[in-house]
Structure 1
Amino acid sequence: MPTLRELLNSSIQTLQNAGVPSPEVDARELVLHALGLNRTALLTRANEEISATDAAKVAALIEHRAARIPLQHLIGEVEWGGIRLKTDARALVPRPETEVLLTLARQNVERRTWNVEKHSDHDPRSTIHDPLTILDIGTGSGALALALKAALPDAQVWATDISAEALALARENAELNGLEVHFELGSLFADLRGPFDLIVSNPPYLPAADKLTADPEVRHDPEVALYSGSDGLDLARALVAQAGDFLAPRGTLLLELDPRNVRQMAQEMRGWHTEVWPDLTGRERFLNAQREH
């Protein structure tokens, strides 16, 4: 029977041979998940022998990962934005860069609230709803909507998605975290009336041609959550065209887009004041917009 160290090393080698981008990290996560161990065990129990049954559990997970099934699908959940999320093929796996969008949304609310408290006696247009109203369009697993609700428990949060399967997963994640979000099935603004103080969205933004060169893991995500026309902006354009009718006075629209097309979207938004912000690697990705009138 192999020791824990031997099992981990052989798992790493299998993933390396399969071309998995991060074989050491993924092998470690899968070994620990299969055996129900914490990271300390890799040091304190490295020389312990692993039973044939447990070794088979590890081998099965490693085989699936070598076939390029996403790590998050195999583990079944991910820590994201301060909450736990179930992850599977029903919705896009939440990406680390989208946590920046979450941070920008929270900062926007904090800055807006501070401005209201400072200027409300002088400018009645600065008022915001009580409670704060937030809408997440294309919620997928519910990541953004639920993380915002967790961070802003007094806010009223709505979320829409065109996929019934994705919304089912989002509702499961809401129950998992004990959070109340109003979910609506439908495209973009569905049957909502607004107005909303903050609208956030991580819509599909990849050009259709990217399907030809997508990493194997990406092919396990729903295509409807990834691709949006020849330049990746079909859905974003439709969203922007309607957003002004659903924003409260001085409300904010926050979008995550592709570094290749975020500037194009900003340039097309006539009648909006726009800012483009970078992700943690310095690539322009996020669009902050308010109506000029």
Structure 2
Amino acid sequence: MASTRAAIEAATTRLRDAGVDTARVDAEWLMAGLLGVGRAALAANLDEELTPALAARYDAAVTRRERREPLQHILGWEEFCGLRFTVTPDVLVPRPETEMLVEWTLSLLPRAGARRRLAIDVGTGSGCIACALALARTDVDVVAIDASPAAVEIARRNVVGLGLSGRVTVREGHLLSGLGAWRADLVVANLPYLPAPVLAGLAPEVVDHEPWVALDGGPDGLSVIRSLVAQAPRWLAPGGALVLETAGGDQIPETAGLMRAAGLSNISTRCDLVGIERFIAAFLPSIDDGRG
């Protein structure tokens, strides 16, 4: 029988040979998942012998990663804003940069007042944005929308798992269509924004295992964003904000132009973790706020 340490070292070599950049980290996470411990706790188990059954299960997990299946799909979860979300091939794996979208969105929500606030998360996927907002602001109710029935099921599972059933409502629908006469204090979205021509050149973990519908933004990457920006003013309360994640670059000024054309104003942007201007927000003018 091999020790945990030896198994991890062998797996690291296999994953490195398969082109996995994070070979050692992934090998450790796969072992941690198998043993039911955190990665940091592995140090206490490195010299323990793996039973044949555990060794076989670890080999199977490593083989899946060797074939460039995302680590998160093998583990069945990803951490986002300090919370653990179930993920499957039916939803986009939450990205670290989207945590910055959540942080900025929270700063743009009106302060707690006499009434409860309403936020709408469009294209919710796993529900990570909606749940993170609701847990950070107990005075905010969130409606989370996705066009994919499978994604809606995963989002609902995460809502229940985080104890948010009373405050986060997950609905199936295309963008904001079918939401009735609601007026939200904020609409936030991490929609497909990658130009279709670049998709084939992405990493195998993305190209072969993540839902293209969550990635493909059409010829210029703005097809879905363009539709949402046109819809948003109808569902925003006066003074409400529309907050979006984009690919950055030319998409920022182009999205700003779309927002102005839709009657939104007071446009601002933020950069992601590596300094790319990626996030953009605009407001529906209030009757008396003087924004124009």
- The equivalent of 1:123 in structure 2 is none
- The equivalent of 1:37 in structure 2 is 37
The answer as to 2:267 corresponding to 1:280 is: no
- The equivalent of 2:145 in structure 1 is 160
Contact 2:229 2:258 (C-alpha < 8 Å) held by counterparts: no
**Aligned equivalents of 1:148 and 1:208: distance in 2?**
30
Contact 1:8 1:28 (C-alpha < 8 Å) held by counterparts: yes
**Aligned equivalents of 1:202 and 1:30: distance in 2?**
28
Contact 1:202 1:256 (C-alpha < 8 Å) held by counterparts: yes
The answer as to 2:160 corresponding to 1:175 is: yes
Encode CA deviations 1:174-221: one digit per residue, 9 max, x unaligned.
111110211221111131122100110000000000122011011211
- The equivalent of 1:196 in structure 2 is 184
Contact 1:266 1:276 (C-alpha < 8 Å) held by counterparts: no
The answer as to 2:229 corresponding to 1:240 is: yes
Unaligned runs of 5+ in 2: 285-290
**Aligned equivalents of 1:227 and 1:287: distance in 2?**
19
Contact 2:242 2:281 (C-alpha < 8 Å) held by counterparts: yes
The answer as to 2:264 corresponding to 1:266 is: no
1:146 Cα deviation (Å)? 1.0
CA gap of 1:74–1:255, structure 2 versus 1, over 3 A, is same
Aligned match for 1:142, one of 119, 123, 127: 127
Identity between Structure 1 and Structure 2 (%): 39
**Aligned equivalents of 1:83 and 1:145: distance in 2?**
12
Contact 1:5 1:42 (C-alpha < 8 Å) held by counterparts: no
Contact 2:124 2:144 (C-alpha < 8 Å) held by counterparts: yes
Give the secondary-structure state (helix, strand or coil) at the position aligned to 1:2.
coil
Encode CA deviations 1:233-272: one digit per residue, 9 max, x unaligned.
0110110011111111111110001013223211332232
One-letter code aligned to 1:67: R
**Aligned equivalents of 1:184 and 1:174: distance in 2?**
12
Cα RMSD of the aligned pairs, angstroms, is: 1.6
Greater than 4 Å deviation, 4+ residue runs: none
1:231 Cα deviation (Å)? 0.7
1:40 Cα deviation (Å)? 5.0
Q: TM-score, normalised by structure 1?
A: 0.91
Encode CA deviations 1:7-60: one digit per residue, 9 max, x unaligned.
110010000000012101101000111122344553333222211211111110
One-letter code aligned to 1:204: P
**Aligned equivalents of 1:41 and 1:102: distance in 2?**
29
Contact 2:186 2:240 (C-alpha < 8 Å) held by counterparts: yes
1:79 Cα deviation (Å)? 1.9
Q: TM-score, normalised by structure 2?
A: 0.91
Give the secondary-structure state (helix, strand or coil) at the position aligned to 1:269.
helix
One-letter code aligned to 2:277: E
- The equivalent of 2:288 in structure 1 is none
CA gap of 1:158–1:41, structure 2 versus 1, over 3 A, is closer
Unaligned runs of 5+ in 1: 118-128
Tell me how many residue pairs correspond in the alignment: 278
**Aligned equivalents of 1:155 and 1:167: distance in 2?**
20
Counterparts of 1:1-293 in structure 2, within 5 Å, are: 1-39=1-39, 41-109=41-109, 112-113=110-111, 130-180=115-165, 181-192=168-179, 193-219=181-207, 220-260=209-249, 261-270=251-260, 271=263, 272-291=265-284, 292=291
Name the stretch that deviates more: 32-41 or 45-54: 32-41
One-letter code aligned to 2:133: L
One-letter code aligned to 2:173: G
Name the stretch that deviates more: 81-90 or 97-106: 81-90
One-letter code aligned to 2:257: Q
Contact 2:248 2:278 (C-alpha < 8 Å) held by counterparts: yes
**Aligned equivalents of 1:46 and 1:222: distance in 2?**
36
One-letter code aligned to 1:26: D
**Aligned equivalents of 2:103 and 2:84: distance in 1?**
17
**Aligned equivalents of 1:41 and 1:113: distance in 2?**
40
